[in-house]
Amino acid sequence: MNIYRVEFFAKCPVNGIRIKYLLRIETTRVIRVESLLAAAEDIGGGYHEAIADDLASLFPGRQTLTAEHHGVHIETTRGAE
């Protein structure tokens, strides 16, 4: 099993506040680090769940996306292997 973790920032679509996200991907496949970093950098903003859906469409495996939005901790899980 390969585990990839990356932190990135995106803006809240409601009030523009900068939010830090942590993405964890568990997969038996190999993900190019450059592809993962490029995808994270391309995320400018959006709703947490939509960001999770977009990332799940790009990378294989089980993904967990976590962030804190104005004091509310959100964790989403997408995919499986």
Distance from C-alpha of 46 to C-alpha of 48, rounded to nearest angstrom:
6
What pLDDT digit, counting tens, does each position of 9-21 carry? Answer: 999 999 999 999 9
What pLDDT digit, counting tens, does each position of 48-70 carry? Answer: 999 999 999 999 999 999 999 98
Provide the H-helix boundaries in 1-81: 33-42, 48-58
Residues contacting residue 41 through CB under 8 Å, at least 6 positions apart: 8
Task: Say if pTM beats, i.e. exceeds, 0.95.
Answer: no
Distance from C-alpha of 41 to C-alpha of 62, rounded to nearest angstrom:
20
Two tokens, residue 72: 């509310």
